Chain A
């Protein structure tokens, strides 16, 4: 039995499953949820992993299942979908707002190959100044680079485009 509202309810539950490393974002904000399949009493959720080595991937899959069981879904499973590969373009606008509020500059919306080179100006998530300096192309997790704002002098992280 599948109704539109069942699927909506599941989307709503998934929106309450946070990313373990950036808890301000849910798995829905990140654009990791590709599809929800409901058959009889079971739910299959298709998830796109972000970075291949991201240690959060398994935690996220586990958290999604736990949420489903907590909400009373009897049979739930997670299916990893590699294609098309996840890109930072899939982070929702709402997700980008949340990232900025959390103090992380969101990725620019150009996940083509050139965007890796990071030519675009990165704005400070606190004071919005475009006068920022790259400190390190790498950060505390695989998905982030480290910046400093030359205006308010605060360091901040930038969510890299892939």
Chain B
């Protein structure tokens, strides 16, 4: 694989992660448990959508086949998406949504920080824009995880279950494949092993503050980055793409 193809596939994955989490957060609009969370969630969804657009635009240029943002988002089949499984998991209850965001953003913030120093200037620029937004998200979501974990007996029990249930999707965040390795070698990209150590330290500290147990070592689920998704993903894509599938080429 030449370096252009590596970068294309790497950027496309970042775009897919951002888009799929945006879609999940957007599903919650008008369902917020209170006004501040309603606004926070919608704002966060918008940030991810903005990031997805920047990644997709760049991926389209790298691919050089004239595909634009919308083509990537609305005209690819389920198996062509290469987001991590964690992000396509259903919103569940508020604790599930918060736990999913924390598990991802503790990783994603470190990833973006690292990407600001990669040798591809455009990707480094996009990462620098995204980094500041994710710092804001992470702070907010971590506060909630602590509040729920260190809250009532009921909230503690439920959010511990959220963390435990989602844990098996966190291995995939750090499972380096040939694209990650090539990205590291050719573009001074992140070392996922190194990121994992930082992530584990951060998570241990957050969970301790939230009085939650650090989940035990367990079997990890993966496959999203190869296009093999969980059963929830088909419905997500169907809803997200409904308009373009029903009315091809619709524009307004």
Contact = CB atoms under 8 A, between A and B. Distances in A.
B39 A53 contact: no
Contact of A53 (B49, B124, B140): B49
Nearest to A49: B129
B48 interface: yes
Contact of A137 (B40, B122, B125): B40
Contacts of A49: 129
B121 interface: yes
Given A51-B47, A53-B49, A54-B50, A82 B126 contact: yes
A52 B121 contact: no
Interface stretch (B130-138, B200-208, B242-250): B130-138
A120 to B, nearest CB: 16
A64 B53 CA distance: 21
Contacts of B126: 82
Interface in B43-57: 43, 46-51, 53-54
B129 A85 contact: yes
B23 to A, nearest CB: 13
Interface string B117-161: 000011011101110110110011000000000000000000000
Contacts, number: 66
Counting chain A residues whose Cβ lies within 8 A of the other chain, the interface size class is 20 to 34
Interface in B31-71: 35-36, 39-40, 42-43, 46-51, 53-54
Nearest to A116: B136
Contact of A52 (B47, B124, B139, B140): B47
A113 interface: yes
Contacts of A82: 54, 122, 125-126, 128-129
A138 B129 contact: no
Contacts of A32: none
Nearest to B128: A85
A157 to B, nearest CB: 12
Interface of A: 49, 51-55, 82-85, 113, 116-117, 135-140, 142, 162
Given A85-B125, A136-B40, 4 more contacts: A49-B129, A53-B51, A82-B125, A138-B39
